[in-house]
Amino acid sequence: MDVSFYYWKTSFKPSEAEEQALQDNQSRRIYIRYFDVGLTQGKPFPISAIVFKKIPKQEIVPVVYIKNEVLLSPATDVPLLADRILAYIVQINDHYGVTTPELQLDCDWSLKSKDAFFLLVKELKTKWKGVLSCTIRLHQVKYFEKTGIPPVDYGVLMYYNMGTISANQSNSIYDRNTAKRYISSLAKYPLPLKVALPIFGWGVHLRHGKVVNLINRLEEQEVAALPTSEKTEGGKYKITRAGTYFGQLFALGDEIKLESVDPKMLLEMASDLKKHLTQQPTEIIFYDLDQTNIRRHGKDFFQEIASRFR
């Protein structure tokens, strides 16, 4: 079973630890976010395209994140959007001298945007010469008779981001009770699936109990080391002096709630999924490749997780 990683930064320049993780896991491919598609002045437009500072040794799978607003907009010409997505991928590939035999779409389509997304997939399918895949959310698995089955070669089950980011004690990245309400439907889901598992964490910046922003890849030791923070009984960290921390402007009394997934949770996820998947996935993809995330786990941990699916 292959172990791979998503790379979700705008510049591809992996650190030594990130390169080592790819090497240790003998990763044959890497899923690189190429660009987002959002609305600019009411029209679909590529956002923050990837810049390759180094060309990976692994096979590159471009991932294009499509905001739901694009598909909901009546101004979006879907066939034209498909042409422009492909043209931009070709432009990036030609510029860096790389080839990409697969394309993956990342979109949390809704009932209202389903028809537009499925049309986009069909258009791409006729024009893209390689493999076409897309991400699948848990709600799209459970309610597939309503949300539909995208006409792709396979899907990637995103087994994370299960709740609403909020000030309460829940973990929005992973909650086992929430997951259990959905995974029994996997037995009926007809599309072949690979599995994406989370290794990331973040800090939720709170003010008066409301979410202000997310601080990606924030570690507890970084927050605890702040002389202007103190841990509360609820496990959050309160800011005792206004200022700029971690690139964010904090007011007196603001809080930081930390969310992450520990090794025990990942083993739990693998065991639960194994029970409900009708076919063994050919690949486990971890989100995302970053030295902060890699450090949380031992050298052999990713292979151990993959072995739980065998």
Domain ranges, ordered by start, for the chain:
2-200+261-307, 206-255
CATH number for the segment(s) 2-200+261-307? 3.20.20.80
Residue 236 has a pLDDT of: 96
Residue partners of 119: CB distance under 8 A and separation at least 6:
78, 79
What pLDDT, in 10s, does the model give residues 134-176? 999 999 999 999 999 999 999 999 999 999 999 998 999 999 9
Task: Give yes or no for residue 14 having a pLDDT over 90.
Answer: yes
Q: pTM value?
A: 0.96
d(CA 18, CA 5): 10
Task: Give yes or no for residue 299 having a pLDDT over 90.
Answer: no
Cβ contact 256:205 at 8 Å:
yes
What pLDDT, in 10s, does the model give residues 177-203? 999 999 999 999 999 999 999 999 999
Cα dist from 234 to 29, 156, 206, 255, 258, whole Å: 41, 35, 13, 11, 11
What pLDDT, in 10s, does the model give residues 65-116? 999 999 999 999 999 999 999 999 999 999 999 999 999 999 999 999 999 9
Calculate the average pLDDT of the chain.
Answer: 96
State residue 178 phi and psi, 5-degree precision: -65, -45
Helix (H, G, I), strand (E, B) or coil at 240: coil
Averaged pLDDT, 124-128: 96
Using 50, 70 and 90 to split pLDDT, how confident is the model at 234? confident
Q: What percent of the chain has pLDDT over 90?
A: 97
User: Alpha helices, DSSP H only, in 39-169?
Assistant: 68-72, 78-96, 114-127, 138-142, 144-147
